[in-house]
Homo-oligomer: A and B are copies of this chain.
Amino acid sequence: MHQLRKPYLLFLGDVDLKSDAKTAFGLRDWCREDVMGEWSLPAATVSLDLPRFSPAEAAARGARSIVIGVAAVGGVLPANWLPELAAALDAGMDVVSGLHSRLGAFPVLVEAARRGGGRLLDVRHSDQVFAAGTGRKRSGRRVLTVGTDCALGKKYTALALARALAAQGVPATFRATGQTGIMIAGAGVAVDAVIADFIAGAAEALSPDNAPDHWDVIEGQGALFHPAYAGVTLGLVHGSQPDALVLCHDPSRTTIEGYPDCPIPDLQHAVDRYVEAARLTNRGVRCIGVSINSCSLADGAWRDYAHGLSARLGLPVVDPMRGGVGPLAQALLQP
């Protein structure tokens, strides 16, 4: 289980495309209170419009981690970023990275971490040893976001739902299973990075016993219908033993992204398959609603789509970006 130290200084490297800074924008939007400011190299043209602090300044003001908030070509940490990261380590901060490159592969960072006492945290990787799943029923309640594909709103929906529950005074914890989610939450497990035998076990560890009325809102991964990642999804479903599922979908997709021969399933079929899979470890599971990424639809088209889908499935249909997830929170809390 990754455990990060906040507050963060967000590092943007020399980014010149907003889309490459998705992680930094996500952190700014979802845990603004944990973000002290931003820092970047002179060549950077993208900004988060946050106060700028050098690593040394940020550390002096209490920042505990510098977080790499941008993508790098091929996932490889560029050499010209190293001095700023080393400066943060020398000031006693941790470095948090979601890149493919492991921070420990750079001697200059290893040395600086040794000097400053900070840690090198690769949230894309998982070096923890987990036990195999037990299937034992845990106390507390759990909702898992699942999807018809990758990258269509499972993290966003889970974050919005956890926030909506908290706003109603319901005890709820967002449980992160991917790198950006882990950075936002400050803790979590990259379930796709664990040894295959322990996917379900890692998911069990992520969401331990809790108070009977507490909700874990668990970030889903992949899709049961994805030719590369379905195994991760199924293990996460089993280990999460969810009481409730929210199905996430993007109506503009007809095939799995990057897999043109793999059609997106019918939504009723998807609901049925997920509920059936989840019943293995929680016979009381139900799908409580659908979360749509509707950015491809104009307002009228979205209203018609949501209305029709809701009638067809008999479930509330929301877009968290268009009206929020209130109906999902309400459905979750219905006995």
Residues of A bordering B, CB below 8 Å: 132-135, 191-197, 199-201, 224-225, 227-236, 238, 259, 261-262, 277, 280-281
Copy total for this chain: 2
Cross-chain contact of A132 among B132, B191, B228 (Cβ < 8 A) = B228
Taken together as a complex, chains A and B put the C-alpha atoms of A197 and B277 apart, in Å, by 19
Contact A238 B234 (CB under 8 A): no
Closest Cβ of chain B to A234, distance in Å, is: 5
Q: Which residues of B contact A228 (CB under 8 A)?
A: 132-135, 197, 200-201, 238
When C-beta atoms are compared, the residue in chain B nearest to A194 turns out to be B196
Q: Which residues of B contact A224 (CB under 8 A)?
A: 234
Closest Cβ of chain B to A235, distance in Å, is: 3
Q: Which residues of B contact A281 (CB under 8 A)?
A: 227
Instruction: Knowing that A231-B236, A231-B238 touch, tell me 8 more A-B residue pairs with CB under 8 angstroms.
Output: A134-B228, A135-B261, A191-B196, A192-B195, A196-B196, A196-B232, A197-B232, A227-B280
Q: Which residues of B contact A231 (CB under 8 A)?
A: 196, 199-200, 231-236, 238
When C-beta atoms are compared, the residue in chain B nearest to A230 turns out to be B234
Taken together as a complex, chains A and B put the C-alpha atoms of A107 and B111 apart, in Å, by 26
Closest Cβ of chain B to A123, distance in Å, is: 14
Listed from nearest, the 4 A-B pairs whose CB atoms lie closest are A231-B235, A135-B227, A133-B228, A231-B231
When C-beta atoms are compared, the residue in chain B nearest to A229 turns out to be B197
Q: Which residues of B contact A229 (CB under 8 A)?
A: 132-133, 197, 200
